[in-house]
Structure 1
Amino acid sequence: MTDFAEYVTDIVHEPTQADSPGFDLTVADVYEVVEPGRIDFGGGELDPAGVAPHTSEKRNPDDDYEWWTLRAGQYLIEYNESLTGEATVTLQPRTELLERGATHPTLHVAALPRVPLSVGGAGLKLKENARVSTIVETEEMPSNSE
């Protein structure tokens, strides 16, 4: 079994994040895409999309953490954690995220990019540092050389 803490930095609370198969990642920021990016064939006209932080607020004045109220739509999330780049892992949404009508793509990564978050239905209330994703070992594909 892989000790993901070897490959993950900026961990919020390791005992909780490592308490399931894989290693859970937490949300640090939520962004809205406010200006279109550009993608071309050769990459000479590649431009990033313009993004702006989505507003968050405390539910109670004494709270330590803020909440994002997300309507149905598309967002970008940024993680608290980073990967060292020494291994490629599979990044997937947690079941808790899926069961609340939100998801993000499953990716094979050696570094953590901002990830598109799709929110459906009535929206989602997302707390700062919520565990939204899990990294697991990337399985090798069987070869067809037989």
Structure 2
Amino acid sequence: MRTADALAQQLDGLVHLDTQRAPTGVDLTVDTVFRTTGHGQLDFGGGEFQAAPRERIEPVLDDPEDDYGWWGLEKGAYMIRYNEALHLDGGEQAVVAPLERTLLAGAHHGAFVVEDGRDPLETLLVVSRMGCRLKENGRVSRLVVLD
């Protein structure tokens, strides 16, 4: 596995590397949250694939003096877009998995493999019945590049 400093060279949009640095990779942060508004479509060959439609949700400041707002997410499925964009060299693979703190806060996403660079880098976040408050730039996932 790559060190966080080596991996940082393959990422654009890092918010604060010193905070995002982890022993096994780099933590990814949330830039944008979208509410899914309908169903997507999957087929065998991919020619009829359609992503689920979505609408952007704006974060809300707790106090007008705050620099960053919060998304108050109720039970359901959301798309999150990370601040970070990933650049991979040929043949590299990366894995993105939820942080334990994300799970403990009442949300999760499936771990997924990235085999090519991604900009934007996104995933489906599922929020449990208790809901979850998510702050702008909050760390929710860990990215690891496999050697």
TM-score between the two structures when normalised by the length of structure 1: 0.86
TM-score between the two structures when normalised by the length of structure 2: 0.86
User: Partner of 2:81: helix, strand, or coil?
Assistant: strand
Q: Find out whether 1:54 has 2:57 as its counterpart.
A: yes
In the TM superposition, structure 1's runs of 4+ consecutive aligned residues that sit over 4 Å from their partners are: none
Residue 110 of structure 2: which of 105, 108, 112 is its match? Answer: 105
Give a deviation string over 1:39-84, Cα, whole Å, max 9, x none. Answer: 2223332223211012321000011111100011111100000001
Question: Which residues of structure 1 form unaligned runs of 5+?
Answer: 140-146
Partner amino acid for 1:99? L
Q: Measure, in 1, the Cα distance between the counterparts of 2:129 and 2:43.
A: 33
Higher mean C-alpha deviation, range 11-20 or range 124-133: 11-20
Counterpart for residue 99 of structure 2: 94
Q: Measure, in 1, the Cα distance between the counterparts of 2:81 and 2:41.
A: 21
Q: Measure, in 2, the Cα distance between the counterparts of 1:138 and 1:124.
A: 31
Q: Larger Cα Rg: Structure 1 or Structure 2? A: 1
Question: Which residues of structure 2 form unaligned runs of 5+?
Answer: none
CA deviation after TM superposition for structure 1 residue 138, in Å: 3.0
The alignment covers a number of residue pairs equal to: 139
User: Partner of 1:35: helix, strand, or coil?
Assistant: coil
Equivalent residue runs for 1:127-142 within 5 Å: 127-138=135-146
Root-mean-square deviation (CA, aligned residues, Å) is 1.7
